[in-house]
Structure 1
Amino acid sequence: MGLLSLLEVASMPNIQVLLICLLGAFLATDYCNILPPHARTSLNKIVFGVFTPCLMFANLSKTVTFEDIISWWFMPVNIGFTFLFGGILGWMIVKIFKPKPYLEGLIVASSATGNLGNLLLIIIPAICAEKGNPFGDHDTCSSRGLSYASFSMALGGFYIWTYSYHLVKKSSLRLKEFEELASPEQRGDDYLQSHLLPQKAAGEDDVVPSTNKLALKEIESQEAGVPILEKESEKLGVMVLGKLQQMFHGIMKELMEPPTLGAIVGFIFGAVTWLRDLLVGESAPLRVVQDAVKLLGDGTIPSTTLILGANLTQGLRSSRVKPVIILALVVARYVALPAIGIVIVKAARGLGFLPPDPMYQFLLMVQYTLPPAMSIGIMTQLFGVAQEECSVIMFWTYSAAAVALALWYALFMWILST
């Protein structure tokens, strides 16, 4: 399989994404006006609440069994490494180039979160169809590869809708803080007094010095017989417990989001044989339910891409992402991460952690080379933060992916064939 063939295979999915993005941009123009901002918001809510959970459930319940989960145990670890090292590279970009605070989460998420779903489902069959590939005949290669890709997409969904979702959600809070600090005059005199001037309790004497007040408080504390250090330790314990409860509540809330719930239920139906037999297969009594869910899930990718393209028109004019940050993201995703991936996968293979199947090892390496997940666009639209900046990042990273992916795929197959 030559380099030109690999370049064609790798570029096709990215060209498809860019074409749909351009269509979305056209639909958002004043000339067409089919995807104005309110329409994009409504469509995004449908994608988040209906299409994405259905996509997760349909792929997992059909392709992943309990035995697969056990034998492919290294894949969730490998995806965790992509998020770990990608996140580290993203934070390095943030610290070096210092973007606006509300863009930090988007930049880290774009560096850490690869497109572990639809691109793999397109790329794997195309590579298997090429003569001379190192993965065997077309049917066997495609069957194994699609199972691995579906499992990868489902696992990636867990990471995306917890870690990346948290980053974008935190960015939306940063944006609110940024807007408040950017225009304090809109809050009036009451806002300035409440935030900048010390408040007095009713009946408090203005002439009492603060040092005397502190002394009086210490005397009262001693008279009560409660040491100040003991009070401080109790207060610290309450604060720590409150923080832990808040963190646990936040994690549980994010795990209950529709995409994550769809993945959890899909795992259950795929792992439990009798539940799987109810939905999957020609003789399954409820196969029409599986078909309907899959039909809804198929709307995820085109809808998300149209939204990204629609946001692109505004993003190219008003994006606050510096070109050097986009370049740094391209280097992080297509140079640094793939090199790290080769080291990790080769080390795991040397330690005997991986099955001997070269397609499995190939997909583990590919997970480090993919462009940012388009699910990030759903999140930015959902929280109303950095939609245009996200579209610009997606446009340039997917444009650069065509050549980068082909070169890395050729290198990966050479490594696995030697």
Structure 2
Amino acid sequence: MGLWSLLEVSSMPILQLLIISLLGAAMATQYLNLLPPHACKSLNRIVFVVFTPALIFASLAKTVHFQDIISWWFMAANIGITFLVGGILGWIAVKILKPQPYLQDLIIAMCATGNFANILLVIIPAICSEDGSPFGDKTVCRQLGLSYVSFSMAIGSFYTWTYTYHLIQSAKAKYCAMLGNADESSKEANNGTEANETASLLLNLDERVVIPSNVAGDDKIILDKKNLEHSATLWTYTSTIFHRLAKELKAPPVLAAILGFLVGAISFLRNLIIGDTAPLRALNESITLLGDGTIPCITLILGGNLTQGISKAQVGPMVVMTVIGIRYLILPVTGIFVVKVASYLGFLPSDPLYHFILMIQFALPPGINIGTMTQLFDVAQEECSMLYLWTYLVAAFALTGWSIFLMWILS
């Protein structure tokens, strides 16, 4: 496979995203006014509740069998390592760069979350179809590659809609706290120290907590905050964690991933909706049709946010370069080391295409579902779009370089 062909293959999905983003940016301008902010929010909710779950369910139910889930177990661990290493590197980066508190979680999410959806769906079949591909017969490579990619997309979506979703939710909480702090500071200037004390209590900045006393009537007991924390029971702490996890697992994309795994793994359910003779095949075809609208809609929203907030984004060149360095330099090197060690320990099958996909998962640009989450929580949409713009411009060349190198070491 020639350098030019590989450049064309790896850059094609990036160019598609950039073209659709430009269309979304044009639609959001005052001249066309087809995608104003309220329309972006409404479209984003549809993507979150309908399109994204449909895409995840359709890809899982159709391509992933129970045997695949067992034999490809390391892919789930591999994607988890991409999130872990990227998250740690992003955390180190924000400690050094010290951006606004609500932007810290966005930067960590950008470093940790890769695009496991449309990028690989385009790259892998294209590489398999090229003459001179190191992955064997074109037909077998394409079918097996799509199965790998679908499983990767499903696992990636599960991590994204739990871990990354929590990060953006935390960013929203910090943003609200920042706005509350600004409001209370303004009240302090106008109303004096009383407003300042109220603000301190609301923002949990006071080291003391006042609670009503059941013993002395209307009297109040002042407890040291540290003592109150130590008095919390283990059961309360554990139940809080499980409650938060259960809430995040109720997100429509996560529920769709769970249902997709069940349908793909259980033959009876699979035969009901998958296949030309399945009695409920119309249901699966409808879900697939809905899923096809996910990527275009998300990309249009990203372009719209870029136009609406290009002058408001608070991300400097150092933040952009840091995210690019983590995603396209440090993570890919880490991925090669992880896959080589796993292969040496006998955790992986001998298929070079499987090894290639595991390695390329570390070199992907940031996942576009982050944009859906920022729109959903109404926080850092402009900064998210700016980071997407630069990381996806660089991705065309970074993916090409890493694809060439990975195929060389695997051939």
Q: Shared fold by TM > 0.5?
A: yes
State the SS of the aligned residue for 1:133: coil
Partner of 2:203: none
Partner of 1:291: 285
**8 Å CA contact retained: 1:78, 1:364:** yes
Instruction: Show CA shifts across 1:48-99 (max 9, x none).
Output: 0011111111000000000000000100000010001000111111011111
Distance in 1, matches of 2:198 and 2:16, equals 57
Partner of 2:197: 196
Partner of 1:10: 10
Partner of 1:350: 344
* Distance change >3 Å, CA 235–CA 131, structure 1 → 2: closer
Partner of 1:325: 319
* Distance change >3 Å, CA 190–CA 286, structure 1 → 2: farther
State the SS of the aligned residue for 1:20: helix
Instruction: Show CA shifts across 1:304-324 (max 9, x none).
Output: 000000001133211101111
Instruction: Show CA shifts across 1:211-254 (max 9, x none).
Output: xxxxxx9xx9xxxxxxx9xxx98973435432322111010000
Mapping 1:8-157, distance limit 5 Å: 8-157=8-157
Q: How many angstroms does 1:183 deviate by?
A: 3.0
Partner of 1:208: none
State the SS of the aligned residue for 1:162: helix
Mapping 1:245-260, distance limit 5 Å: 245-260=239-254
Amino acid paired to 2:123: I
Amino acid paired to 1:196: E
Structure number, greater radius of gyration? 1
Instruction: Show CA shifts across 1:366-416 (max 9, x none).
Output: 100000000000000000000010000011100000000001001101111
For this pair of structures, how many residues does the alignment match?
389
Instruction: Show CA shifts across 1:14-59 (max 9, x none).
Output: 0000000000000000000010000000000000001111111100
Mapping 1:178-327, distance limit 5 Å: 178-184=178-184, 187=187, 193=194, 195-196=196-197, 236-327=230-321
* Distance change >3 Å, CA 104–CA 2, structure 1 → 2: same
Gaps of 5+ in 1: 200-216, 221-227
* Distance change >3 Å, CA 346–CA 180, structure 1 → 2: same
Instruction: Show CA shifts across 1:286-329 (max 9, x none).
Output: 00000000001111100000000000113321110111100110
Distance in 2, matches of 1:38 and 1:305, equals 16
Q: How many angstroms does 1:351 deviate by?
A: 1.1
Amino acid paired to 1:270: G
State the SS of the aligned residue for 2:142: helix
Amino acid paired to 1:60: L
Distance in 2, matches of 1:124 and 1:282, equals 26
Distance in 1, matches of 2:341 and 2:39, equals 48
* Distance change >3 Å, CA 345–CA 196, structure 1 → 2: same
Structure number with the bigger relative contact order (C-alpha 8 A, sep ≥ 6) is 1
- Scaled by the length of structure 1, the TM-score of the pair is 0.89
Distance in 1, matches of 2:132 and 2:71, equals 28
Q: How many angstroms does 1:187 deviate by?
A: 4.6
Partner of 2:393: 399
**8 Å CA contact retained: 2:185, 2:196:** no
- Residue 375 of structure 1 is aligned with which of 369, 377, 388? 369
**8 Å CA contact retained: 1:114, 1:368:** yes
Amino acid paired to 2:316: K
Distance in 1, matches of 2:334 and 2:57, equals 31
- Residue 412 of structure 1 is aligned with which of 382, 406, 411? 406
Distance in 2, matches of 1:44 and 1:186, equals 34
- Scaled by the length of structure 2, the TM-score of the pair is 0.91
Amino acid paired to 2:110: S
State the SS of the aligned residue for 2:350: coil
* Distance change >3 Å, CA 57–CA 191, structure 1 → 2: farther
State the SS of the aligned residue for 1:367: helix
State the SS of the aligned residue for 1:34: coil
**8 Å CA contact retained: 1:161, 1:254:** yes
State the SS of the aligned residue for 1:354: coil
Gaps of 5+ in 2: 201-212, 217-222
Question: What is the root-mean-square deviation in Å for CA atoms of aligned residues?
Answer: 2.1
**8 Å CA contact retained: 2:187, 2:196:** no
Identical residues among aligned pairs (%): 54
Partner of 2:220: none
State the SS of the aligned residue for 2:362: coil
Distance in 2, matches of 1:235 and 1:72, equals 43
Amino acid paired to 1:152: S
Q: How many angstroms does 1:4 deviate by?
A: 1.9
**8 Å CA contact retained: 1:3, 1:407:** no
Partner of 1:159: 159
